[in-house]
Amino acid sequence: MSIVVEIPDAVAEGIRLPEGELPLRLRCELAAALYQRDLLALGKAAELAGLTRESFAVELARRNIPRHYSQEDACLDEAYAGR
């Protein structure tokens, strides 16, 4: 499934980004916002942004958006380290 979001021309023209960067940057903005609100996991947010997980994690840090790290994540990491 693909979702298409229509942005009115007047709004698109008001966005202060070079026209060629607009689609990718908007996807990154949306991905960061959805991740921050815990509506999208890191891997899927990175995919939406068109970045690797590592690059997206750097982008989150640049924006001061903390990584989500649950107790389950900690247990998985602990199990992996204990191998």
pLDDT at 71 (0 to 100): 77
Q: What is the pLDDT of residue 10?
A: 94
Tokens 């947010």 sit at which residue?
45
In sequence order, which residues have a C-beta less than 8 Å from that of residue 48 and are 6 or more positions away? 27, 30, 31, 34, 40
Terminal alpha carbon distance of the chain: 39
Q: Which amino acid is at 37?
A: R
b/e sequence 39-49, b meaning 16+ C-beta within 10 Å: ebebeebbbbb
Would you list the domain boundaries of the chain?
9-81
- Asked whether the predicted pLDDT for residue 20 surpasses 70, the reply is yes
Q: What does the pLDDT look like over 27-73, one tens digit per residue?
A: 999 999 999 999 999 999 999 999 999 999 999 999 999 998 777 76
Confidence of residue 83 (pLDDT cuts 50, 70, 90): low
Cα torsion angle, 53, 5, 16, 63, sign: negative
